[in-house]
Amino acid sequence: MEVPAELAGGKDAAASLPSMSQPIPVEITVVKAQDLKTLKSNVLVTLVRVEYNGEVLGDSPKTGVLPSGTAEYNFSTSFECSPDGPNSLEVIVQKPLLLTVLEVGPREKKKTEKITPLGQAVVDLLPLLQGVRSLKVFAPLYAVPASSSEKLHPKATGGLEVTVSTKELLLSATQFSSGNLLSITMEAAYSVPGVFTVEGQQNYMACLQIPAAGEELLLLFQNGILKADGEKEPLPRPKNWPLGTILAPGALAIPNSFIVGGPYEDEDGDLTRSKDREFRRQAESTKRIVWDTERRCYLDAAAVAVAPCICFVPSLQKRIAECRYWPVELCKMSMASGGKGKTSKADKGDEDKQIAFHGVAYVNMMHLLCPGVKQIRGAFRVFSYQDGEVFEKTRIQHSIFRDLRSQLSLAKEGLGTSPVSRAAPTKAQKEDKDSSGTLLNPSKIQLSDGTGGSENVTNLLEGQYSEAGTFLVMEIKLDRPLVPKRPREELVRRVKEMIHPKPELPPWTGGAKKAVEAYEKCVTSVAAAILREYHELFGKQLPDQGVIDHGTLEEQRRQLNYELNTSGKYFAFKEQLKHSVVKIVREKYLKTEAFENQGQLQEFLSELYVFLVGHMHIALNKLLSGEDVSSTPTPCATNKQLLLFAREAEANRDLKLASLFYSQRIAQDQCSIQSWLDYGAFCLLHKDATKAQECFKKALCLDPQHTQSLLLCGIVAVKLQHYEEAEIFFEDACCLEPSSIIAWTLSGLFYELQNNYIRAERNFREAKKLLQAQLEEERRILEAAEAEGKKPSTAPEEIPDGSADKLPEVVEGVTSKEKATALQEAPEAPCLAPGPQPPPCTIFMKTVEFLMKVNAVRFVHKALAHELLSLQGGPTCAYYLALAWTYSLQEDLPRCEECVCEAIRIDPTNPNVWAQKGHLCYLKKDFDKAKNCYEQVISFVEDAVDMHFVYLRLGSIYLEEKEYGRAKQIYLLACDNSASCLTWLGVGIACYRMKEMVEAEDALSEANALNNTNAEVWGYLTLICLHGGRQLEAEQCYKYTIKLGLKNSELLQEIDATQSRFGFGNPSL
């Protein structure tokens, strides 16, 4: 159980531990034993033996056992802890205090007292390195098997009350906080080669190297137990001390330390895929080598630090960064049968041949460099040890078992033998022996000179591990993560710095608004002055005097004009207004230079005249009514309607109009987060990433706790190649809402773009864990609902109303041509399902659904690539629909059509598939096929997601084909579903063509109320007024038609022809 003196006591070994000015005594007091009768009912006299690190520290006086089973020992002893002695901090970390209760039998004649071990207990001294100077524990006593087993109670409840203390801390607070504790648990090797047999004495060993500040420590796991086929290892099960063989096997268990296992998908090893599950389940119940041993190692600040320390061996973080794979060697070594002593040269050849089945597993340690990660656990495949392959993956040139086998052979004898039945070992003997978990220092060991014979032994039965599929299950755990996770407060501060809005500039007092206000004040002043002149000339008109006739008013107007012109007041009023009009021209219209031609001047004067007259009326209304009349009416369209109008304009490729509607939504409510996000998504799609970033940051300013805004800020930051900012946004989103599947998946996709595959895989794993929990919760709720008596979902063949039988009529109700097309494109579907089948629920498709709404095309492609790799039965209908959407945005119509055809083949009754195909045919100007697809969508019981655009485009096709009755019905369905200016316009056009003028005018009035800037609406209103003989209204509608710039040349020609036929409607004629 001892570390060789030349390894543990050297200067290099001490370099990795905190320095001590002098040895620190560790005081141990065994107070008493309790319930000894549970171990053996007739025990009378006992003593307790205290030993540590293979050395007996002392025996207590013989003490009688009370009837209650209590024995008062009050025995104290101690040992010294020092880096230069045998009991260094490294030993305290990984070795417990061993206490043995011995039964003292009665003395017989001419014979010594018979001393028999009764039970053993262990005390973990690790708290002494964690800032504790004194600990009091109740250590359970485990029975020692004896020949008189019938008197041994199987469930012992006895224990020892022990106190351990030091006069000063073994580690200061600074040393403890800057260092770290590394624990490695070697659980088992499964699916071992079939040639491994339980018979015979074999030592199954595993070993790996751990870098420290001044040395490399070799952690050796010996005495693996080969178990035959049988039941699986139980979970949870205790971890064992690396003590080898002791008298009480139960005392090997480390208190409060268990192997708990877990889902294979949550592991960090090689066999985590779904196809590996069955193999692992079978391997866990077949032949296996079990250690279940935990080794611990203290790493000081120099061994943990990122920067390389001033020593030969680099730090843990630097070593992981330089080479992510660390080798864990595995071998079988025959137990020696010779006696103790040095091995002769003649025996060295035989010693070399004792090592066989030399294998190696590669552990990816890069997980430990992920923020907040402090544990790696998984199953790692074992391969035959090949020097070239090991060096290529790990950059390590020597093998532990091959180059250090002469030292490992020293550990074969007397491992873990308790000193109860032997005398205490001398220092010289301790230096020649090691425990089952040994710390070796390769810098102190001279490597073998010859390797020829060992190569033949190492490669013995090469390939056995790979053929058997052997894998090693182990765990590497740190007390604190090497890379701390950024706290939430820091993330909030960083995000706030990135989205902090710029201070608003003070308002400029000489702007356009003030110029208009000054003009209205001048108009009011001039009007009041003119009214006074009128009163002076004609007096005030009282209400009871009646209404003045038209002729009298005209005469008074002529007299007033004459007086104003002859007195010079008209010129004065004009000059008074002139200054305010000039300011409007400069501030409102930004006109400061001369016009290039007379046409531009006349056009501008007309526009200016309309504006001035309008505000003159506003000013006069304020003057006469005494109320503040708003210059702009309350908008009729709601926020939801404006969003619909914007998407309609976007579908019609009118991006300028779509941007206007998005801006109007924001103008209506600048505190609406969704309005900013929708506008940002529009800008992101149309290559204006900078504007999109402004919108997303504005939304985040409104609510810094809004997860969706954080994710969109991260997406647009990736688009702008601001990767550091993107990482902050994604990390903050995951920290803010740790239950968000989309946040973890998007963060994983981002790290994958950065080639950080370890963090990407961990984030994907977290998302899958959340999705699994969500599905289980939904399943539990469904089962609870069914248990309460609710009817479960009925299978198609059990539907009572016969709707399953009616489904073929849905396809037949369109056209026989379309039915034939559907059957031709879906040859593998023998019959139609009762409805669209839900796609398999994965984290990537959930994320794709979100990304499609915000137009993040690049991330959609990444997520779909993962979806394609993760599916077992091939791509799904949802996959092809999403892929087709990306190709349609890129205007790659041939590839879009391929995806749509595959989606139809997989699920021919999905309305979304037919809607997508209809849009594709519509964009290709193949209106016959588009009409058939849209009719197919409408025939389904379940609506497609984008029914609004299905109605609009199908209605437009009917209008082109002059099927006005069907067009009217489709547009009315669209109005009922989601009314807009375009839907009512379609109704109006259809009614007008069918000579239903009243209904047409009502529909066009509804369209005009929703959007009074649509030139086509005004054009058809012009036609209706012309047919109704309303000259004034026809002229007004025609003016707005021309002013708004009607682009439909056919409609313009029809208006001109109608005006010519009726002889009115065009003021210019």
pLDDT tens-digit map of 590-636: 777 788 888 888 888 888 888 888 888 888 888 777 544 444 444 46
What per-residue confidence (pLDDT) applies to 451? 41
Q: Taking the CB of residue 176, how many other CB atoms lie within 10 A of it? A: 19
- What gap in Å lies between CA 194 and CA 550, rounded to an integer? 119
What integer is the mean pLDDT of 578-589?
Answer: 84
Please say if the pLDDT value at position 817 is more than 50.
no
Please say if the pLDDT value at position 884 is more than 90.
yes
Q: Taking the CB of residue 1022, how many other CB atoms lie within 10 A of it? A: 28
Tell the burial category of 467 from Cβ atoms under 10 Å away from its Cβ (0-12, 13-18, 19+).
Answer: exposed
Tens digits of residue pLDDT in 909-958: 999 999 999 999 999 999 999 999 999 999 998 899 989 999 999 999 99
- What gap in Å lies between CA 616 and CA 599, rounded to an integer? 26
CB 791 within 8 A of CB 799: no
What per-residue confidence (pLDDT) applies to 798? 35
CB within 8 Å of 180: residues ≥ 6 apart: 298, 299, 303, 304, 478, 479, 480, 482
- What gap in Å lies between CA 952 and CA 617, rounded to an integer? 40
CB 215 within 8 A of CB 443: yes
Q: How far is CA 804 from CA 794, 798, 811, 828, 834, in A?
A: 11, 9, 13, 19, 6
- What gap in Å lies between CA 64 and CA 51, rounded to an integer? 22
**Which segment of 198-212, 320-334, 482-496, 791-805 scores lowest on mean pLDDT?**
791-805
Residue 505 pLDDT class (50, 70, 90 cuts): low
The amino acid at 206: A
Please say if the pLDDT value at position 44 is more than 80.
yes
Q: Which residue has the higher pLDDT, 1020 or 5?
A: 1020
CB 299 within 8 A of CB 179: yes
Q: Which structure tokens are listed for 701?
A: 């300013």
Please list, residue by residue across 622-647, b when 16 or more beta carbons sit within 10 angstroms of its beta carbon and e when fewer do. Answer: eeeeeeeeeeeeeeebebebbbbbbb
- What gap in Å lies between CA 813 and CA 823, rounded to an integer? 14
- What gap in Å lies between CA 305 and CA 310, rounded to an integer? 11
Angle between helices 857-870 and 877-889 (to 10 degrees): 150
What per-residue confidence (pLDDT) applies to 510? 59
What integer is the mean pLDDT of 271-277?
Answer: 85
Q: How far is CA 247 from CA 528, 616, 661, 850, 1000, in A?
A: 116, 108, 84, 62, 101
The amino acid at 542: L
- What gap in Å lies between CA 189 and CA 200, rounded to an integer? 19
Q: Read off the DSSP letter of residue 500.
A: P
Angle between helices 1015-1028 and 1049-1062 (to 10 degrees): 20
Residue 427 pLDDT class (50, 70, 90 cuts): very low
pLDDT-above-90 percentage for the chain: 40
What per-residue confidence (pLDDT) applies to 458? 44
**Which segment of 39-43, 338-342, 939-943, 978-982 scores lowest on mean pLDDT?**
338-342
Please say if the pLDDT value at position 842 is more than 80.
yes
Query: What is the distance between the terminal CA atoms of the chain, rounded to a whole angstrom?
Result: 115
Q: Which residues is 378 bridged to in the sheet?
A: 474
Tens digits of residue pLDDT in 761-807: 999 999 999 998 898 898 899 888 888 765 444 433 333 333 333 33
CB 320 within 8 A of CB 368: yes
Task: Name the H helices within 482-511.
Answer: 488-499
CB 344 within 8 A of CB 354: no
Q: Which structure tokens are listed for 320?
A: 């992981």
pLDDT, the chain, mean: 80
The amino acid at 982: L
Tens digits of residue pLDDT in 445-499: 333 333 444 444 444 455 788 888 999 999 999 998 988 888 889 888 888 888 8
What per-residue confidence (pLDDT) applies to 542? 60
Q: Which structure tokens are listed for 50?
A: 């205290």
What per-residue confidence (pLDDT) applies to 341? 43
Task: Name the H helices within 669-825.
Answer: 673-685, 689-702, 707-719, 723-736, 741-753, 757-787, 803-812, 816-825
Q: Which structure tokens are listed for 561?
A: 């004009």
- Tell me the residue length of the chain: 1069
Q: How far is CA 631 from CA 41, 510, 535, 608, 879, in A?
A: 103, 20, 30, 16, 51
CB within 8 Å of 526: residues ≥ 6 apart: 573, 576, 577
**Which segment of 51-60, 872-881, 993-1002 scores lowest on mean pLDDT?**
872-881
- What gap in Å lies between CA 601 and CA 590, rounded to an integer? 14
